[in-house]
Every structure is written in structure tokens, then in C-alpha cells.
Amino acid sequence: MKRLLPAAILVLGCAAALRADVKGGDADLTLDWINFAILVAVGGYFLAKSLPPFFRSRSSGIQKGILEAQQIKREAEARASQVEAKLAALGAEIEKLRSEAHAEMEKEGARIRQETERHIQKLGEQAEREIETAGKLARRQLQAYAAKLSLDLAEERVREKLTPPVENGLIEDFVSDLEASRN
């Protein structure tokens, strides 16, 4: 039927042209209208032939674009929901990290306290040993000093009591003991 329409318009245009020639008169005006009708028919034919495929391709392109946009929108919404879920979980994650850090700090604090106590105990033991060693050394020095003082005192007493007549008597006693031991 679509193919018959341009042919029918062409036939009507030719018939009108012939009729105008037969009558005479306003033939120029009639021919102008016929030419216009033919031009409109031919233009309409070509437009009718080329516009539907153009509109179909354009429509399918638009529909394809809409589908792609909808797909991109769904993907974006999915990503946005994932980000929102991550953001919602972020508070819990931060709190978890805080509690883990707090527990780790407490463990480290306990370890440092134990190590400090151990060091303090070692230092105390070392100080006790040093004090004991210093005490022994001081006792030895004190004993040596006391012995020296005793010797000095004894020497002084002996010198006081050792007068020349006592000294001569001691020497005579010593010599007589030697002679007696020889015999």
C-alpha cells in the first residue's frame, strides 16, 4: 500500500496536468500546483522511506543509552551502598582498633612493669652485694687500722717502760738464755 501511494500521486498529478491543458486558462497555476504536489509526493516518498529507519536507529540508540545509563546507575547505587556499608562499619572498625590498641598498650605496660621490677630486683641484689663487699672491705680496713693502732700503742707503752737499765737487763737475760741453750 505504501508503494501505491507515490504512484497514485504521480498518476493524479499527470491527469491534472492533462486536464489543465485541455481546458486552457489558468494552466500555469494548475501546473504550479501539480509540480508542488509532485514535489511534495516525491519528498514525502523519500522522507517516508528514509525517516522511519533513521528514527528507529535513533530510538534504538536512545534506548541503548537509557539501558546503559540505568546499568551505570545500578552499579553506582551498588557502589554507593557498599561505601555506605563500609562507612557504617567504619565506626565499629575504629572502636575495634581502639580496643585492640588499648589491650596491646595494657599488655605492653604489664611487660614493662615486670621488666622494670626485674631490673629493680637485679639492681637491689647488686647493691646488696656491693654493700656487703664494701662492708667487708671496711671491716678489713678497720681491722688493719685497729691492728696498727694496737701496735703503735704497744710500741709506745714498750718504749715508755723500756728504760736503759731495763733494756740492759733484758739483753743480759737474752744472752744468758743463749748460752744456756748452747750448752
Residue 142 lies in a domain: yes
* Predicted confidence (pLDDT) at residue 8 exceeds the cutoff of 70: no
Cα-Cα-Cα-Cα torsion 105, 110, 115, 116, nearest 10 degrees, comes to 90
Task: Pick the more confident residue, 30 or 138.
Answer: 138
Q: Which domain holds residue 124?
A: 4-157
Q: Which of 91, 7, 2, 89 is nearest to 49 (CA)?
A: 2
Is 167 contained in some domain? no
Contact between 13 and 38 (Cβ < 8 Å): yes
Residue 169 maps to a domain: no
Asked if residue 57 is part of any domain, the answer here is yes
156: helix, coil or strand? Answer: helix
Dihedrals phi, psi of 40, to nearest 5 degrees: -65, -40
**Which residue in 43, 41, 34, 36 sits closest to 13, CA to CA?**
34
Q: Is 34 exposed, middle or buried (0-12, 13-18, 19+ CB in 10 A)?
A: buried
Q: 174 or 20: which carries more pLDDT confidence?
A: 174
Quick check: helix, strand or coil at residue 144? helix
Identity at 120, one-letter amino acid code = I
d(CA 149, CA 161) in angstroms, rounded, equals 18
Residue 79 placed within a domain? yes
**Single pTM value for the model:** 0.36
Specify if 63 maps to a domain. Answer: yes
Q: Per the domain annotation, does 83 fall within a domain? A: yes
Handedness of CA 154, 159, 161, 167 (dihedral sign): positive
Residue 152 maps to a domain: yes
Q: Is the pLDDT assigned to residue 177 strictly greater than 80?
A: yes
Collapse the DSSP code of 104 into the 3-class scheme (helix H, G, I; strand E, B; otherwise coil) and give the result: helix
Average pLDDT of the residues of the chain: 83
Count of the separate structural domains present in the chain: 1
Q: Does residue 16 contact residue 30 with C-beta atoms inside 8 Å?
A: yes
Q: What is the pLDDT of residues 59-110, one digit of tens each?
A: 998 999 999 999 999 999 999 999 888 888 888 888 888 999 999 999 999 9
